[in-house]
A and B are shown apart, each in its own frame.
Chain A
Amino acid sequence: MSTPYAKLPAWADYGLIPLINLSVAFIVAGFVVMLVGENPFRAAVILVEGAFGKGTGIAFTLFYATTFIFTGLSVAVAAHCSLFNIGTEGQAYIGGLGIALVCLSFDSVLPWWAIFPMAIVAAAAFGALWGFIPAYLQAKRGSHIVITTIMFNFIAASVMVYLLVGPLKPAGSQAPQTRNFLAGAELPKLNWIIELFGAKIRSAPLNICFLLALVMAFLVWLLIWRTKLGYEMRTYGHSPKAARYAGISETRIILTAMMISGALAGMMALNPVMGDQHNVAIDFVSGAGYVGIAVALMGRLHPVGIVLAAILFGMLYQGGAELAFEMPAISRDMIVIIQGLVILFAGALEHMFRPYIQALFASFSPKSVGMQAVNGKGA
């Protein structure tokens, strides 16, 4: 029996359905807001205005989005090879270690434009290494990548705690973090772009990593859909047996995909570390790796979708912070609930409304759902 669902036109598939899912998530979130005795409409206005209302808000939203683009792309690259990389969190954390080593070594002697490329390479290399080990265990020993990458998140956390309270901590400091980088390791801000449009910005961390993230999104698209490697990854991702038949080495493709995924995760660390805090502090990733899973799923593993989903989550982060500030009844935890609802409806329950929409389309315009399938389907 073939799938009982007919096809939908692309705009409905990629536009309408996510929009409906998102609306439902916000409606349910609205009820939660009502439950704690606040006006959901005012909450929505504060959230959106907080994220996009002022120049500073936009800059913060895009700063968070930058982080999520990297982690979303990381998850997506592995997912195209049917590897569920839950280790983005740890890979990003270890990527931060690579950046710290580069910045602490050279920030006194080199300008930012010389340090930045080195830091990119170091972040990618450290992240890739952290992806390589679970990949090797999967390819050679059959250890499940989901289990090993989760474990490697904990190992990464432990390693970083050791380093940040020990070798990397400046003597005499009580904070578990590296010393602050000198100006040489600070990335230029991008706030002037938003100011071009007339908005005013006080201080916001949006920096050139945003542009790097967009470039990486394009390169990931190129990799997945326009290169031999991407073709092989997708083949293996859809059917390992077909990959074997086509002469694609399982070991090689798993290792490569996970190292690229790890490298993208590692590069995420550039944004907060060099663009904002100018040090590596304990737990600086703070869950961005896990958000990346939701971003990748919501963006349908496509770079364009991932960029859009990342901006949405950036909005929830920034607008949510404003909301918690403006409405005392809505705590930080409430924001997490709203984010959870978005993940639930847009990720986990992605297909909940699909059959109804398909039925609707079929009754209005049979052609739009692909009548050509008649000959091939049914059985």
Chain B
Amino acid sequence: MAQAAIELIGINKSFGAVRANRDINLEVARGTIHGIVGENGAGKSTLMSILYGFYQADSGEIRVGGKPVSINSSNDAIALGIGMVHQHFMLVDNFTVLENVILGAENDALLKSSIAKARSELERLEREYGLEVDPDAIIEELPVGLQQRVEILKALYRGAEILILDEPTGVLTPAEADHLFRILKQLKEQGKTVVLITHKLREIMAITDTVSVMRQGTMVATRVTKETTVGELAELMVGRRVLLRVEKGQSEAGAIKLSVRNLTVKDSRGVTMVDDVSFDVRGGEIVGIAGVAGNGQSELLEAISGIRHAVSGEVMLEGKPVDLTGKADPGELRDRGLAHVPEDRHHVGLVLAFEENENSILGYHDDERYLKGPFLKVDVIMADARDKIEKYDIRPGNPRLKTANFSGGNQQKIVLAREMEQDPGVLIVGQPTRGVDVGAIEFIHKRLIAMRDQGKAVLVVSVELDEIRSLSDRILVMFAGRIVGERGPDATEGELGLLMAGVEHQEAAE
């Protein structure tokens, strides 16, 4: 086996009493791609933050290239040849690629020689790794995939030998992700070491040489990728067997419950985000909208749920029109049987500072069940919250606990419980399982299918193709604000991927 690029020995890290990392041992061989998988909160990001100098371990040793080192800041990490590509890019939007690359590595006041040096260096990197990007392009005008490439270039420009990527494919189309993987393989061939943090097991199988699984702050296993399976990894992550694809029967589509006609939505800058979109959702079916994040799905959901102003078009809920002026009362739509699980549960669907029971009535706090005159019926609200906690297996089962202290999956269950228990006719769900761990995904999918089987109309928007394919009876693909195709649940990933990337669209335009 090749010499280890990184060795972590007995790493411990606690935040207060929360032990984010417990006695972690990890060895990453030079010139390999090493995957780290685990549920949210398993401690992956904490471990990498220790390696990159954001946090200091409480105890344990880090060795880089066989030598014990102490990494107290990201500067130390860079000096040791460790580069990191964050999940959320750390780029200055209105700078050029070149300016972003030299940011923090400028070494003359007028930048003249820095820029010249960077330009020739970038050309070399492009040649060697196939990392083409126009050095004079402005970041905000580049697609996400290219922005990520700039992040990688930044790390390489600083001499990174070890590259850490934190959830790199979350924002990419399948095609962009493939391209990224080709780049990573090229880096590997040139002798660089790559650490890939992800919760997408498919990616792990496709690209890594070895993989480590984390669970609740501990490193539970390390496997050679070729010798393991997705099923085994999932089981290691969760600690029990998981269904990766929920069983469901044939749908029995009934009457049209939600109908969208020629809907057009613009954002605050006047850019068209939803462009002449029409579709129907019938009772007893799940319609999934696939697409890369930022192609108008969020705006579509907000317009339908009456939160966002639509420029033109019509939305009919159970045969009656929805006020699209953006001044609609979401409370009135709830009364008419529209339940909405928003994409952003942290800022929209929940108030994180509230106790769990307070969130269990958000949006339904006008309901006379919970009120006596101007006063809240605290005991009724509490009983109601306990009831939902039991039905949806929300943990920990304490309605007085602050919502921020629940895990992502349990927070999502709080929202789902609230919306589903109102027995709505139409349920629209944005990103049902974003940031939710594998065990809870299974539960949430089962619940959504149960809603469908009760004859509700369910509209699901998700950037996870697997999820869309597993849940939907019909799949609509959104690209650049338009619905560019409709497919059945048996559509292949490649087919959907092409639609999501707007390939057909572009060809037509050329």
Contact = CB atoms under 8 A, between A and B. Distances in A.
Contacts of A228: 365-366, 371, 374-376
Contacts of A234: 351, 354
Contacts of B344: 241
Interface in A349-379: 358-359, 361-362, 366-367, 369-379
A242 B347 contact: yes
A370 B330 contact: no
A23 interface: no
A1 interface: yes
Contact of A366 (B17, B45, B307, B374): B17
Contacts of B348: 239, 241-242, 244-245
A348 B228 CA distance: 55
B84 to A, nearest CB: 14
A378 B15 contact: yes
A232 interface: yes
B371 A5 contact: no
A373 B407 CA distance: 8
Which of A1, A235, A374, A376 has the largest number of chain B CB atoms within 10 A?
A376
Contacts of A370: 16-17, 405
A377 B332 CA distance: 36
Contact of B365 (A246, A367, A377): A246
Interface stretch (B36-44, B102-110, B317-325, B455-463): B36-44
Place the interface of chain A in its size category: 35 or more
Contacts of A231: 358, 365, 376
Contacts of A366: 17
A142 interface: no
Most buried by B among A7, A231, A247, A378: A378
A229 interface: yes
Contacts of B340: 245
A222 B177 CA distance: 54
A303 to B, nearest CB: 17
A238 interface: yes
Nearest to B332: A247
Nearest to A377: B18
A144 B340 CA distance: 31
Interface string B417-454: 00000000000000000000000000000000000000
B33 interface: no
B406 interface: yes
A241 B371 CA distance: 23
A374 B342 contact: no
A245 B349 CA distance: 7
B234 to A, nearest CB: 18
Nearest to A368: B17
A371 B216 CA distance: 13
Interface in B357-395: 358, 362-363, 365-366, 371, 374-376, 378, 395
B94 interface: no
B506 to A, nearest CB: 34
Contact of B45 (A1, A4, A246, A358): A1
Interface in A1-56: 1-7
A277 interface: no
A140 interface: no
Nearest to B43: A378
Contacts of B330: 244-247
Interface in A182-236: 222, 226-229, 231-232, 234-235
B15 A235 contact: no
A373 B331 contact: no
B374 A229 contact: yes
Given A6-B16, A234-B354, A379-B45, A227 B374 contact: yes
Contacts of B19: 374
Contacts of A227: 374-376
Contact of B396 (A232, A247, A372): A372
B331 A378 contact: no
A247 B45 contact: no
A145 to B, nearest CB: 21
Nearest to B378: A226
A238 B45 contact: no
A372 B405 contact: yes
Nearest to A376: B407
A222, A241, A366: most-surrounded residue (chain B CB, <10 A): A241
Interface of A: 1-7, 222, 226-229, 231-232, 234-235, 238-239, 241-242, 244-247, 358-359, 361-362, 366-367, 369-379
27 contacts: A3-B15, A4-B15, A5-B16, A6-B16, A6-B17, A228-B374, A228-B376, A231-B376, A232-B365, A235-B351, A239-B352, A241-B348, A242-B347, A242-B350, A244-B330, A245-B307, A245-B349, A246-B362, A247-B363, A362-B17, A367-B17, A372-B401, A372-B405, A374-B217, A375-B395, A377-B20, A379-B44
Given A245-B362, A370-B16, 7 more contacts: A1-B45, A7-B405, A245-B342, A246-B362, A369-B16, A373-B17, A375-B395
| Shortest Cβ-Cβ A-B pairs, 10 listed | A6-B16, A247-B331, A376-B407, A378-B20, A247-B330, A246-B363, A366-B17, A369-B17, A238-B351, A4-B15
